[in-house]
Structure 1
């Protein structure tokens, strides 16, 4: 399977770096509109630099799209028209209509389109899967220092969408309601946001994202009938706390020591694999027909749909606040 990378900025560079070593794929080369950038990356990685997007699309069976989000649809539809399988970085598109167009075009051509929600391949998340049983409440915090890269979109599409995709996949039920608030701090769009998503069946997710934090944090917690799970996605570790099999709570007041004696703590730890590498390997296997697709174009579209609902609620809250102050 001949593969290439379209867009070799910060993230596209790492896609190209890893794709050279993925079993089942032959790295054909890279393309970027910035000629100096593509030549520099090609020289560093020892790969071919294509002179145009069309030249790359003619030479490959599959491609990673890591161009700015606003260009995703144009590039993806051109690639699909050329018969190329895709992995499109998140968010899959700038608008829901564009996402639908990508999904529909790929289905019509029977092409594989994956969405780059890399947290699905986080080692801690994979380690917790055997213990997940219909979570009723999910809470996540994704905080990062300010970085001009990615500020062409609000924090919801830049950072929060990772956790939106996670909760959609973990709960596995339709979204019933969305409420959200966000605040612009350094950019015109929301730089800090909190969203509350309710699902059919009663599950609730509370998601916080910030790109103006002094600390980095990527943590998520699950509450379910069988216990409590806490994951540090940055470290790839976590823990699952549950009542020991056969344990019964004593009558009357229970001290901390007695309570701890009733609880079983299970350490959760990933295998140390680089999530981006795992994502690319899974994509290559899916394109080659060796395994099912993990994060589909439809998944990317659904995450984008919820993200856009959150942004709409943020705008509504902002407008209501201005009306009160005015």
Structure 2
């Protein structure tokens, strides 16, 4: 393992730029390369940060030690598998893939080569900063709302795989139970896929999780309510307000912690620590990303059945 890792980013869009800046600023790593089908876009991201722009995958992979896949979601599996085949640990933005079969290939091929795979469910960092991942009770009810205005980002997948998958992963992270049913309804928008969706997922413990996402809203809104036997937690992530009636020792000032201020940075740093052997695993591994993807696809099937 080199003393300073050479980081590479596939995809020069908005998230590719975010990841490139993380490699340029974190200790023990430099931004070495950015790959994009449009070399001018790759150069705009890479050159100001001291990296090089690439258009060809083989040359790009020769120039890096670790890879972030921040290309459109429909290319995540193809690009992650190319990196793994070249022996590179990989951080894949969410969703890890758009089919469970492809996601399982990523997991299996990385495991066969002893390579770390991380997935960009950065909301886990925020939950950890709150203390919710260590809550001593199992939840009874979760209600999550995630609305935002139209955007050109992630139009290749539905709002379920773009937005709801965050909250599906959070529900899975705080419940030891398994999801058993998913019901939903939605609306197809200008993207040609589900741009609005509401879903209810039932778990085998009796835990119920309800989700409401939209990328056709007039403004940004993101709230969550989690009910436990001893009380409830309400969070408004936009207004940065927090209400806790449980006896749990939660951090009401979580939003001001370094991790919650920059969850992407904490997530990428966790990936690099796992690659170096300084941490036993990344913050979200391939198995967890596959569970979130599997549940998201179940929700999409429920939307289609209800249409």
Q: Same fold (TM over 0.5)?
A: yes
| Cross-structure match for 1:298 | 287
Provide Cα deviations, 1:277-304, integer angstroms capped at 9, x if missing partner. 1111111111111113210011111111
**Unmatched 5+ stretches in structure 2:** none
1:181 aligns to what SS in structure 2? strand
Contact 2:130 2:250 in 1 (8 A): no
Q: Does 1:136 align with 2:125?
A: no
Q: Which residue of 2 aligns with 1:256?
A: none
1:57 and 1:79 in contact (8 A); partners too = yes
For 1:49, what is the secondary structure of its paired residue?
strand
The partner residue of 1:66 within 70, 74, 96 is 70
Q: Secondary structure at the match of 1:309?
A: helix
| Equivalence for 1:38 | 42
Q: Which residue of 2 aligns with 1:254?
A: none
- 273, 276, 284: which one pairs with 1:288? 276
Paired residue for 1:89, among 75, 87, 93? Answer: 93
Counterpart CA distance in 2 for 1:39 and 1:28 is 12
The CA deviation at 1:19 is: 1.3
Other-structure match for 1:267: 252
Is the CA contact (8 Å cut-off) linking 1:92 and 1:301 kept in structure 2? yes
Deviation (angstroms), 1:215 = 1.7
Larger Rg: 1
Query: Which among 130, 146, 161 is matched to residue 127 of structure 1?
Result: 130
Number of residue pairs aligned between Structure 1 and Structure 2: 298
Equivalent residue for 1:205?
Answer: 209
Name the CA distance, whole Å, in 1 between partners of 2:232 and 2:113.
Answer: 44
Is the CA contact 1:182–1:193 (under 8 Å) kept in the aligned structure 2?
yes
Distance 1:167 1:265 in 2: 17
Say which of 292, 299, 311 aligns to 2:300. Answer: 311
Between the aligned partners of 1:76 and 1:67, the Cα distance in structure 2 is 10
Equivalent residue of 2:34, what SS? strand
Contact 1:86 1:112 in 2 (8 A): yes
TM-score, normalising length from structure 2?
Answer: 0.91
Equivalent in the alignment of 1:249? none
Deviation at 1:235, TM superposition (A): 5.2
